[in-house]
Amino acid sequence: MTAAPHDTPDRLDPRSQDVAAERVARLREDFPDVFREGRIDFDALRRALGEWVDPGKERFGLSWPGKAECMRTIQQPSVGTLVPERAASVDFDTTANVMIEGENLEALKLLQKGYHGAVKLIYIDPPYNTGGEFIYPDNFHEGLRDYLRYSGQVDGAGLKRSTNTETGGRYHSRWLNMMYPRLYLARNLLREDGFIFVSIDDGEMSHARMMVDEIFGSENFIATAIWQKKYTRSNDAAFFSDNHEYILVFARNRDSARLNLQPRSEDQLAAYSNPDKHPKGPWKATPLHAKSGSNSKAYTFAKGVAWSPPPGTFRRYSDATMAEMEAGDEIWFGESRTATPSRKSFLCDVKAGVSPVTIWPYEEVGHTHEGNTDLKSTIGGGVFDNPKPIRLIARMLQLATDREQHDLVLDFFAGSGTTAHAVMQLNAEDGGNRRYILVQLPEPTDNAAFPTIADITRERVRRAGRKIAQERAGKLDLDGMRPPDLGFRAYRLADSNFKPWQGDPAQFAPDPHQAGLFGPVARQVDLFTDNLRDGRGPEAILTELLLKTGFPLTVPVVRLTLAGQEVFSVADGALLACLERSLRLATIETMAARDPAQIVVLDAGFGGDDRLKVNAVQTVRARARATGGSIVFQVV
C-alpha cells in the first residue's frame, strides 16, 4: 500500500529557524503591496513608509567589502545540532545552565527557535582586532562543514588560524564580517526589555558603535561605559598609556528596558542622619538656594528668622512651599537653632539607589590583574590571557538582571568562563536564580592539561562551582537564601543526527507525475529504512528535536513507558516523542490519548510500512476530532 500525501504525518524540517523567511512573512502581512512577483520592491516599501525615493542619493551608514555576504551568511540555516555530553556536565538533569562547545554563529542559529526573545542580558568580549591570530572571519564562512573539519569531527586537514594584518587590505572588513552576523542573530534572542553589553577597545570602537547602531537601532543606544582596566601606567607607551576599554550598552527596545539602580555606598549613606529624631527618618541638610532661578527676595520663617539667598543665587522654593516645609518640621536651623536654615532632604524620599555612571574605576569593578587572579585562584595561572574580572561582569548583572526572575544571560565568546563564574557567584551572594548560556570555540592551546579553550571554560566553571559550594557549606541555615545552581549541561556542536538527504524540504513536494509519492527525490527515500546516523542515541536525537521544535535545552523532560515503548514527555506533555526504531500502533494510540499539542516519531520507526503510517495518522486525527482539539503529528 502506498500512502497518499494527506494520509501521512508532517515531516519535521531538521534545519534551524530560517530567520530571513520569517521576517519576509511578517513584512508580507503588513505590506502586501510592496511585493512584486514574490520579491520585495524596496522602492515601493520606502514609498509605503512615506519616504521619498531618490535612486541617486548618497546614503549615510556603515559599508564595507563583504557586507552583502554577511546577509547571505545570516540567511543560510544551520543543519547542525547540539549533542549532549553528560560526562562533561555537572548536575545535567537538574541544572538550568548550558555550556556549548562549538562555532558560535552555528550555535546562535540553532538557538533561534528555542530561545527567541528569551535572553535578558547578552555580554560579549569578542576578539579584539589587534592584527594577531584571528580564526573566525575566513575559516568558517562555509559554516558547519568547516567547523567539523576544524574540530576533527570529520576527515580532512584542520583549518589554521590566520593573521589579520593591516597590510592585508581588509583589516577592518574581516572583523566586521565576523561580528555582524553574530550580533544580528543575537538580537533575535533578546527579550523586549533586554540589554547587550559589548566590550571593545580603541581598535574597532568607532566601527563597532556604527555596526551595533545599525543592527539594534541608534535609538536603542544607552551608553558607552569606560572601564579602567589598569591601575598603573606604561612608561614605555609611544604616546599614551592605554588604561581603559569601552563597554557599549544597547537595549533591545529602549522604551521597554530599565536598568537597576546601584546601591548607595557607605559614604553616601553616612551623609544621612537623624539628630532631631524626625519621624520620617534619616536626612541630610541641603541648601534652600540655587545658582539659577528668579526669586531673590527674602523669606521670614514663623520663628521670626529672616533669610535671604546669598548674592548671585536665588530661592529654590515659593513662599507656599517654604511654609509647608516649615510646618512639617523639614527646615533645619542647626543644633543651636541659629545656623543658616537648610532643607531636610529625607532618605525615604529619594530613589532606593543611585543611577549608574559611565566611568567604572578599577576600585569598584576590578582590573586586568584581578581578572588573572580570579582565574588563577580557580584553575591556575598561565592558561588564558587577561580574562575579565568577576566584579566587572557582576556590575553588568546587577544593572541589567533581576535576581528573582530566572533571567537568562548569554555569552557567545565565553573565553575562560568569567560570565558563568560571575552569575554563580552573584547568585550565591544575593540568593538570585539567574541562568546562563555560554558558547566557546574549541580553539587549540599549548597547554597539555587543557588542549582547547573550551576545556578551560568547562573546567573553570566546574571548579568555581565547587569553590562556591565549599564557601557556602554550613551557611544555608544562617542566611536563609536558596542554594545557587552550580551545574551546567554540556553540549557539542555536531552535524545533524539525520542523514543529509533529508536536509532539503523540496524533495517532499508533491510530484504531479507520480501520484502517491512526495517528489522525485522522495523515491530514493523508500530505499532507506533508517535515516539516522550511526552512534547517535535517543538523548542526542531528542536534543535536536527540542531545538527544531522550539523548546529550550533545559525544558523538563520525563521518560515514560507507553504500550511497552519508551516515550519522552516534554514540557509536561506538550510534546510526546517516541524514538523507537520499531513503532507500534498501540503506542501512537496511547500517546494521542494524552492529548499533547505535538507528537514526533522517527520515520525509521515505521520500517517502510505505509499501512502503519496511514493508520497512525488516522488515529491521531480521530483523537483530535473526538476532543475538538488539534494535535500536530510529525516524523523526522
Reported as a single tens digit per residue, the pLDDT across 318-342 is: 999 999 999 999 999 988 777 889 9
Does the pLDDT value for residue 161 go beyond 80? Answer: no
Does the pLDDT value for residue 512 go beyond 50? Answer: no
Same domain, residue pair 130 and 204: yes
Residue 461 Cα distances to 73, 199, 391, 417, angstroms: 32, 21, 16, 6
Q: Indicate the helix (H) or strand (E) that contains 251.
A: strand 244-251
Does the pLDDT value for residue 139 go beyond 70? Answer: no
Contact 547, 556 (CB under 8 A): no
Same domain, residue pair 470 and 379: yes
Mean pLDDT of 217-243: 90
Of 349, 373, 389, the position where a domain reaches its end is 349
Same domain, residue pair 565 and 624: yes
Of 291, 317, 349, the position where a domain reaches its end is 349
Mean pLDDT of 336-356: 87
Q: Indicate the helix (H) or strand (E) that contains 549.
A: helix 538-549
Of 331, 349, 367, the position where a domain reaches its end is 349
Same domain, residue pair 372 and 426: yes
Domain extent for 185? 80-237+246-262+355-493
Highest mean pLDDT (candidates 145-149, 527-531, 554-558): 554-558
Same domain, residue pair 475 and 574: no
Counting the structural domains of the chain, the total is 4
Contact 73, 144 (CB under 8 A): no
| Residue 121, all three cell numbers | 542580558
CA atoms of 106 and 78, how far apart (whole Å): 6
Domain at 256, CATH number: 3.40.50.150
Q: Indicate the helix (H) or strand (E) that contains 22.
A: helix 19-30
Asked which of 276-285, 303-312, 613-622 is least confident by mean pLDDT, the reply is: 303-312
Residues near 527 by Cβ (< 8 Å), separated by ≥ 6? none
Same domain, residue pair 424 and 323: no
Q: Tens digits of per-residue pLDDT, 183-199?
A: 999 999 999 999 999 99
Q: Which amino acid is present at 461? A: V
CA atoms of 143 and 182, how far apart (whole Å): 12
CA atoms of 96 and 489, how far apart (whole Å): 8
Report the predicted TM-score, pTM, of the whole model to 2 decimal places: 0.83
pLDDT of amino acid 61: 74
> Looking at per-residue confidence, does 168 or 472 come out higher?
472
Mean pLDDT of 291-307: 87
Same domain, residue pair 578 and 629: yes
Same domain, residue pair 429 and 536: no
Which DSSP state fits 360?
Answer: E
Q: Tens digits of per-residue pLDDT, 420-443?
A: 999 999 999 999 999 999 999 999
